[in-house]
Structure 1
Amino acid sequence: MASYLPIPGGHITLAGRFVDPALSFAMGWNYWYNWTILLPTELSAAAILIEFWTHSDKLNPAWITICMVVVLAINVLGAGAYGEAEFIFASIKVITIVGLIILGIVLDLGGGPSRDRIGFRYWITPGPFAQFNGIQGATGQFLGWWSVMTQAAFSFIGVEIVAIAAGEAKNPRRNIPKAIKRVYIRILLFYIGGTFIIGLLVPSSEPRLNLDTTNAGASPFVIAINNAGIKGLPSVINAALLTSAWSAASSDLYTSSRALYGLGVAGNAPKFVTLTTKRGLPYVSLAICSLFSGLAYMVVSAGAGKVFTWFQNMTSVAGLVTWFGISVTYVRFYAGLKAQGYDRTKLPFYSRLQPFVAWYSMTLCLLICILSGWKVFLRGQWRTDTFVTNYLPLVLFPIMYLAAKLARKTRIVRASEMDFVSGLAQVEADSYDEPPPRNKFEAFWGWLM
């Protein structure tokens, strides 16, 4: 959808065009909420990383303030400074994860100081699946796997930002499909590859992985490096991860402020949030969104690991709700193309597995959201904080949709009436053939970034 119609607002605008303006309203506010809560989430993650060096049971709030100032300064300086900072941070992230994957392979094969050849030892004992809450057998293993579905979803939040950026991208008809393909490759290489290596190096029963009871030493790569007996490197890795947390927090503030600005432009938020400086900086939206960073100070009293888990639950469910909305939008988009006689294979980007993948995504996202807090319903496992953080975003979304639908009296767009033309001429006019990379290094680095 975004490659065919790379318009401002991305999937939020497309939801109003192909499904229902009320859905666009709900998705817009859900998206703003998602990225706004991600800001203190990343700041609390930074606090966890700092605890690696302080070895203190109580975090000094000054560290949170320092992280907040860095993030706010990057955003106040404007899009240029943000872009430069992101390039530096992204370069550090890419170098770090590639280095960690290579190091992980070396350590697994016995190349560390301890000369311990691990191989697939931990896949046998204790095994890749932990027993949940002492429940034995396949049932306990399945529940252990299902219990981390929302945490896994947290790692994938943000891949949809390609669609949000489509309206501002250069040569979107060519660059958006390339960006989408690279996202798939990066997920396989960095996310799946990194997780695979971690599974080889650290047993599933490792107590230091529990954020409720431990500090930043719980980073699995740091655990593996410490176990291998490599001195000094854990601090280097932790510092690199800290820059990654800063980068993520900076992106969260940038995206949430632009999301709020976009809501104002679309008439879904008060007009004062659209006020900008002469350079185009939406300072009102930026100021409002930055206020939510103060939630990160909760780590001082409740503990960094626990607070991070709360925010992680809230943002994971909100992210899944976003992808539920995207899937619904695509199903309607597909129906509109079919009803109006468009050849889907002629689009700038298409998948042979559609619309089945969209239906799969819609169903699974909704199922994971509904069962995200299932643990609290077990006997003796009730936790109000877990229940609220898991189900608050899920409850708010249909409330916002129904409220907008009743207030504005919107209706679902018929497939035969969907608008596939508005804005298309400008998109096609902005398309052009790009010059090839000047050398192999430029091509490789451009693919990574």
Structure 2
Amino acid sequence: MSTYVPTADQNVIREKRFTPSLTSAAHHAIEPNEHLYGEDVIPHHTLVRQMEARHIAMISIGGAIGTGLFLGSGTSLADGGPLGLWLGYIFVGSICYAMMVSLGEMVSFLPIPGGHIALAERFVSPALSFAMGWIYWYNWVIAIPAELSAAAVIINYWISESRVNNAVWITICIIVVIGINAMGARAYGEAEFWFASIKVLTIIGLIILGILLDLGVGPSHDRIGLRYLKHPGLFIQYHKIPGTTGRFVGWWIVVTQAPYSFIGTEIVAIAAGEAKNPRKTILKAIKRVYVRILLFYILGTLIIGLLVPSNNMDLGVQSNAFSSPFVIAIRNAGISGLPSVINAAILTSAWSAASSYLYTASRAIYGLAKSRNAPSFFTHTRDSGLPYYAVAFCGAFTALAYMGLSSGSNKVFGWFSNMTSIAGLMTWCGIGITYVRFHAGLKVQEIDRDRLPFKSPLQPFLGWYVVISTIVIGFFSGFSVFLKDDWIFLKDDWSTAKFVTNYIPYILFPMLYLFARYFMYRDAPPVAASDMDFVSGIAEIEAESYEEDPPKTVVERVWKWLM
């Protein structure tokens, strides 16, 4: 089936419909790699497509698989019980799937710099693009120092802070993370490929080991089976709330915690502007990423629920390998030595995540600048396509990791880092809104979705599912503070901080939109479905797309399947 390419007549029609003032970035969102046209000089405002399919395949996996599965799942197990944990992750995983296939349909058609931020301007409004761009940038620029601080604490597993100050480890991590990003997209893609490969192999190994331990294949020969599903039970009575209500609240707590593990799968859209053969590369990456993410998390949480009782006192109490449910299971089985290996994998995850977050934050602000929602100097690039001002500016925020050196500052910083999960949900909400409008534009302009590179199923219902579910989860994200009978706003410091940090991003997102709508783009209402631009940049994207050589050997076929 042929891919949709506008004809000359359609180009004329779209140009008449298209209003430049409504989507100012549409004309310049895609700037071609001039090497394709025989030029020696690349404009110094353009990203360069230089990442291979294997890089793109691992970038989203690397950004999404972090400490959430290794550590965060332990807290969720303690709050929701084994079945509450599993069902909570399945529910949030379904939202992740709906978001990714919606994003995949748009990005495989228009793999442009700025990803979903640029698409929001093109198909919804500049105001939504402004809000999505800044909330997305905030999400990752705050997450960078959080991961760097976590890396330092993880190293304390081997070398205590009394021997070497954590500032040393933070400095080393900062140098490596900024250094990788400063070498350009290809170097970042190569580093992330290996970092993510380590994480994937670790998770696969832990899942296999978990199955064997559950069956009694271990030093203790203790066949666990379904023991912990019977006692302490499938669910937790959260805060000892009796009956079905207590079990439901425990499950809902897991639902509000699980997004932290899934946020980052959409990073592949940001990388679209630097991918070789973008349509095929991005499409393959998105299809494989959500399958692997869901597989890892759903299988991983199932194994965790079987191996560790939900009332284990070590769950979620530390920030290193000791609180990982996998390590707890390994210790209980009498296996020595492996906790260090798992801790090394967690360290790799934190390091890899920090590198991904810096890459994503720098490309987010680059996309904002291309849409004239940030200072234009952020669009400046080297000949290699590196947006050096964007990387330097976002890299400066790594210094916030030093706040973790004092306990008081660390507590304050923890409150800010907690906001990233809700900010990520607001990004997913924006992607859902963008897809719903994209779908409406295709319908009004009578463009057959079957001719798109990828047609996602059950649309536009999945798009609406993303919008509604993320709004609901965000609204109830801090509800647990209300379960404390003695909580008084501004009196109970911990609960007040949790309440405020959960709801600031939730309130900030619409505030950013309203500010942009009524103060920056007062004369630019939302783009009508009939005025949406499905033409600009298509010729350049088609020129950069090509059929890949089929694999010739068994090894090549296996490699292609993996990547």
1:75-104 CA-partner distances (Å, limit 9, x unpaired):
223333322211221221121111111111
- In structure 2, what residue type is equivalent to 1:222? V
Bigger shift: residues 403-412 or 75-84: 75-84
The 1:433–1:81 alpha-carbon spacing in structure 2 relative to 1, beyond 3 Å, is closer
The 1:26–1:41 alpha-carbon spacing in structure 2 relative to 1, beyond 3 Å, is same
Query: How big is the shift at 1:163?
Result: 1.9
Aligned position for 2:405 = 300
The 1:188–1:372 alpha-carbon spacing in structure 2 relative to 1, beyond 3 Å, is same
Q: Which runs of 5+ in 1 are unaligned?
A: none
Q: Which runs of 5+ in 2 are unaligned?
A: 1-105
Say which SS state the counterpart of residue 384 (structure 1) adopts. Answer: helix
Aligned position for 1:6 = 111
Aligned position for 2:172 = 66
The correspondence of residues 169-318 of structure 1 with structure 2, limited to 5 A, is: 169-211=275-317, 215-302=320-407, 310-311=415-416, 313-318=418-423
The 1:424–1:281 alpha-carbon spacing in structure 2 relative to 1, beyond 3 Å, is closer
Partner of residue 504 from structure 2, selected from 372, 392, 414 = 392
1:373 aligns with 2:510: no
Aligned equivalents of 1:129 and 1:163: distance in 2?
37
Query: How big is the shift at 1:116?
Result: 0.7
Aligned equivalents of 1:305 and 1:271: distance in 2?
34
- In structure 2, what residue type is equivalent to 1:361? V
Aligned equivalents of 1:94 and 1:340: distance in 2?
43
1:429 aligns with 2:546: no
1:11-39 CA-partner distances (Å, limit 9, x unpaired):
11111111111101111111111111121
The correspondence of residues 102-181 of structure 1 with structure 2, limited to 5 A, is: 102-181=208-287
Aligned position for 2:558 = 444
Query: How big is the shift at 1:182?
Result: 0.3
Aligned equivalents of 1:188 and 1:264: distance in 2?
34
Aligned equivalents of 1:380 and 1:291: distance in 2?
41
Aligned equivalents of 1:279 and 1:431: distance in 2?
20
Aligned position for 2:514 = 402
Partner of residue 357 from structure 1, selected from 462, 471, 474 = 462
Partner of residue 98 from structure 1, selected from 162, 187, 204 = 204
Query: How big is the shift at 1:306?
Result: 6.2
Say which SS state the counterpart of residue 167 (structure 1) adopts. Answer: helix
1:78 aligns with 2:184: yes
Q: Is the 8 A contact 1:41 1:311 kept in 2?
A: no
Q: Is the 8 A contact 1:126 1:204 kept in 2?
A: yes
- Give TM-score scaled by structure 2 length: 0.75
1:186-211 CA-partner distances (Å, limit 9, x unpaired):
02321211111111111222221224
Q: Is the 8 A contact 1:48 1:305 kept in 2?
A: no
Query: How big is the shift at 1:56?
Result: 6.6
The 1:73–1:278 alpha-carbon spacing in structure 2 relative to 1, beyond 3 Å, is same
Partner of residue 425 from structure 2, selected from 320, 323, 343 = 320
- In structure 1, what residue type is equivalent to 2:441? G
Aligned equivalents of 2:440 and 2:471: distance in 1?
21
Q: Is the 8 A contact 1:94 1:448 kept in 2?
A: no
The 1:426–1:240 alpha-carbon spacing in structure 2 relative to 1, beyond 3 Å, is same
Aligned equivalents of 1:55 and 1:222: distance in 2?
20
1:287-341 CA-partner distances (Å, limit 9, x unpaired):
2212222333343333899678635531110110001000001111111111111
1:22 aligns with 2:127: yes
- In structure 2, what residue type is equivalent to 1:421? V
Query: How big is the shift at 1:136?
Result: 2.3
Aligned position for 1:412 = 526
Aligned equivalents of 1:60 and 1:18: distance in 2?
46
Say which SS state the counterpart of residue 341 (structure 1) adopts. Answer: coil
- In structure 2, what residue type is equivalent to 1:109? L
Aligned equivalents of 2:408 and 2:230: distance in 1?
34
Aligned position for 1:347 = 452
Aligned equivalents of 2:130 and 2:227: distance in 1?
51
The 1:324–1:424 alpha-carbon spacing in structure 2 relative to 1, beyond 3 Å, is same
The 1:318–1:139 alpha-carbon spacing in structure 2 relative to 1, beyond 3 Å, is same
Identical columns (%): 64
Aligned equivalents of 1:147 and 1:305: distance in 2?
24
Q: Is the 8 A contact 1:45 1:308 kept in 2?
A: no
